[in-house]
Amino acid sequence: MMASDAVMRALTALREGRFVLVYDADGREEETDMVIASEFVTSAAVRAMRRDAGGLVCTTADPRIRESLGLPFLTEVFSGMSETYPVMKGLTPNDIPYDVKSAFGITINHRKTFTGITDDDRSLTIKEFAELARSAIKQEDGWGKRELGKHFRAPGHVHLLNTTDKILETRFGHTELSTALVIMAGLVPSATVCEMMGDDGKALPKDAARDYAGKHGLVYLEGVDVIRAWKEYQRKR
């Protein structure tokens, strides 16, 4: 068997356009994210993340997407402008307590959006990004890099997150965990995620996240489950 029963059920849920919950690890962020495949994001999905999770809605991009669309890490953008804006040198995120590198990329809006922040606007941006990514990773002539600017503007209200080049080898955050799941599910290699927050202003405890999953019929996974399944998936490729 490729993975645990919980992971297999999670892959089925993702293929059906449903949420799964993913907790990263004790001693890391110690957060649970609501995760959905980007290609299936709807206005209702954005509303659920906004209402029931409450963190930042972000959309991931694996190395194939990043390369085919020419997407930078935001730290690279800031570093490149440091001569014009020297203040950027002092803002380098080199002291993140749980990580060695920020996954943040640029922010985007689809050109057909209005303000970009509404549930309709964000779902349009996310779904169209996934569709462009699906086409771009099949091209080899720079097509995606030309198309990105035709259909999207930056900055915007959808935060892109870039995975590391080798997923789940050097970084084990929600960017990599969620992207690994959609890849194993055979979907466009982009997930949309949102941290679950508690009413006390802190991250929702994992027991509470597990209870939420049970109440709503969602699969709950811990990062170690995903990592184990991903290693097996990689061995079988």
By C-alpha distance, which of 89, 111, 91, 93 is closest to 101?
Answer: 93
One-letter amino acid of 124:
L
By C-alpha distance, which of 99, 18, 185 is closest to 34?
Answer: 18
The label of the residue with tokens 């930056």 reads 154
The label of the residue with tokens 């002092």 reads 90
Distance CA 181, CA 193 (A): 12
How far, CA to CA in Å, does 98 sit from each of 30, 129, 154, 193, 235?
10, 29, 29, 19, 28
Distance CA 61, CA 71 (A): 9
Contact status, residue 172 vs residue 96, Cβ threshold 8 Å: no
Q: What residues act catalytically?
A: 33, 58, 98, 109, 157, 195
Show the tokens assigned to 131. 């569709």
Count other Cβ atoms within 10 Å, centred on residue 150.
8
Edge-to-edge strand order for the sheet containing 152-162? 104-110, 152-162, 58-61, 191-195, 32-37, 20-23, 219-222
